[in-house]
Amino acid sequence: VASGHLYEKLLSIMILSVRNNTKNPLHFWFIDNFLSPKFKAFIPHMAARYDFKYDFVTYKWPSWLNPQSEKQRLIWAYKILFLDVLFPQDVPKIIFIDADQVVRANVKELWDVDLKGNVYGFVPMGDSNPDTEGFRFWKQGYWKGHLADKPYHISALFVVDLVEFRRTSTGETLRGVYNQLSRDPNSLANLDQDLPNFAQHQVPIFTLPTEWLWCETWCSQESKPSAKTIDLCQNPLTKEPKIVMAKRIISEWQTFHDEVQQLQADFEAGAAPAPSSTGKVEL
């Protein structure tokens, strides 16, 4: 899911980082509602260059579901509320990766994680950077009581067993919980994250290994070398812009950025993309 020029740039870099570390065939699914015509025209060129499949998917917001008018909240809603109906029925599993991430590992590893019968797996929020302890809202007040001994998970990366998700009607459950909570305008501040975390007592979350998502805001520098993805989540202390942060904390980011920029320039100039290699397992 991406919206706006910045996030489309970041999305292109995320795709390149996935391909750079994963030699298996890839199939990217993009939610059509929020992409610019320019980016949608560029994706086939990028797919030809890096040898991946792609599809644009969408779903009409149901009339009975409490509406969202703010664009960011709509994006969050589409990310979590319609997992059972966005994709063709023969798609068994999906991995969601936020646009503002750089992947440093083979995502086939994540695809192969045993979810132990759960419908999805999320990474727990980082707990090793002491500088942002005061911003860990899930460790105090309402959230502390509601979660009990369960972790609060970040929604920037997750894997979904769509077969089990559909079989258990989890989409209906989440939409029901959403309709209940969204009556209160003060609830679901981070809709895509708060909803699955709130619903853990009804829909358990498999907790993925912490190395699958590192962000400087919540995680220690000591844990960074083992990171399999790096997320550019905003630091409430510094409010550092994402591009500035990316250049500072991700050594390979500028190389990926320049490669995407060149591919974009070639596309706009009408040059045909050079093909790349392929593998065996579709994700």
Question: Could you tell me what percent of the chain has a pLDDT over 90?
Answer: 91
- The mean pLDDT value of the chain amounts to 94
When mean pLDDT is compared across 30-39, 190-199, 200-209, the lowest value belongs to 30-39
Q: What is the mean pLDDT of residues 200-229?
A: 98
Structural domain spans, the chain: 5-269
Instruction: List CB contacts of 209: < 8 A, sequence separation 6 or more.
Output: 123
Retrieve residue 83's tokens.
């997992």
Give pLDDT, residue 271: 67
Give residue 35's identity as a one-letter amino acid code: L
Torsion of CA 282, 14, 267, 29, to 10 degrees: 40
Lowest mean pLDDT among 3-7, 56-60, 127-131, 250-254: 3-7
Nearest to residue 235, comparing CAs of 221, 219, 257, 222?
A: 219
Whether residue 4 has pLDDT greater than 90: no
User: What's the pLDDT tens digit per position in 16-50?
Assistant: 999 999 999 999 999 999 999 999 999 999 999 99
The CB-based long-range contact list for 108-114 (8 Å cut-off, 24+ gap) reads 108/22, 108/24, 108/281, 108/283, 109/228, 110/159, 110/208, 110/212, 110/228, 111/159, 111/281, 111/283, 113/159, 113/206, 113/208
How big is the CA angle at 17 (ends 214 and 192), to the nearest 5 degrees?
A: 50
Sequence-ordered strand ranges (E) for the chain: 27-31, 53-57, 93-97, 101-103, 120-124, 153-161, 206-207, 229-231
User: pLDDT, tens digit, for every residue of 228-263?
Assistant: 999 999 999 999 999 999 999 999 999 999 999 999
pLDDT at residue 280, rounded to an integer:
31
Asked if residue 166 lies in contact with residue 84, where contact means CB atoms within 8 angstroms, the answer is yes
The phi, psi pair for 22, rounded to 5°, reads -130, 115
| Cβ atoms of 171 and 59 closer than 8 Å | no
Q: What contacts 79, CB < 8 A, 6 or more positions away?
A: 1, 31, 96, 155, 192
CATH superfamily label, 5-269: Spore Coat Polysaccharide Biosynthesis Protein SpsA; Chain A (3.90.550.10)
Q: What's the pLDDT at 282?
A: 34
pTM, full prediction: 0.93
The pLDDT-based confidence of 283 (bands split at 50, 70, 90) is very low
Closest CA to 101 of 225, 219, 215: 215
What distances in angstroms separate CA 42 from CA 46, 180, 267, 268, one per listed residue? Answer: 6, 40, 7, 9
37: left (phi over 0), alpha (psi -120 to 50) or beta: alpha
Q: Assess whether pLDDT exceeds 90 at residue 270.
A: no
Range with lowest mean pLDDT among 163-167, 261-265, 267-271 = 267-271
272 band by pLDDT with thresholds 50, 70 and 90:
low
pLDDT band at 276 (very low <50, low <70, confident <90, very high): low
Residue 155: count of CB within 10 angstroms of its CB = 22
Q: Residue 141: what pLDDT?
A: 95
Residue 2 has pLDDT above 90, yes or no: no
Q: Is the CA virtual torsion 173, 192, 214, 221 positive or negative?
A: negative
Cβ atoms of 195 and 212 within 8 Å: the answer is: no
DSSP code for 219: S
Length of the chain: 283
